[in-house]
Amino acid sequence: MISRTIFLKRLAAGDPPTDRDDLIERAAPVATARKIAVLMLTLWKDETEYQWTKEATA
């Protein structure tokens, strides 16, 4: 289901909402999750020690 904002914008413009709008709305979180997964896999493969906190290592 598309968000209310997209629905109202489409309705005001005279265009009926489509399934494509719903697909676009769901695609952004999936793309972000994939980017995070690639980053984490790269760090794991390189055996990079990543500090999650801002503390400096001595």
HEC-encoded secondary structure of the chain: CCCHHHHHHHHHHCCCCCHHHHHHHHHHHHHHHHHHHHHHHHHHHCCCCCCCCCCCCC
- Domain assignment of residue 26, yes or no: yes
Distance CA 25, CA 1 (A): 9
Residue 39 belongs to a domain: yes
pLDDT score recorded for residue 8: 77
Residue 11 lies in a domain: no
Instruction: Report pTM.
Output: 0.45
- Asked whether residue 25 is assigned to any structural domain, the reply reads yes
Residue span of the structural domain in which 43 resides: 19-47
**pLDDT, tens digit, 9 for 90 and up, residues 6-58:** 777 777 887 766 666 666 666 777 888 899 999 889 888 888 777 777 776 55
- Cβ neighbours of residue 22 closer than 8 Å, sequence gap 6 or more: 1, 2
Residue 35 lies in a domain: yes
What is the model's pLDDT at position 14?
75
User: Taking the mean position of all CA atoms in its chain, how far away is CA 50?
Assistant: 22
Check residue 37 and give its pLDDT.
Answer: 92
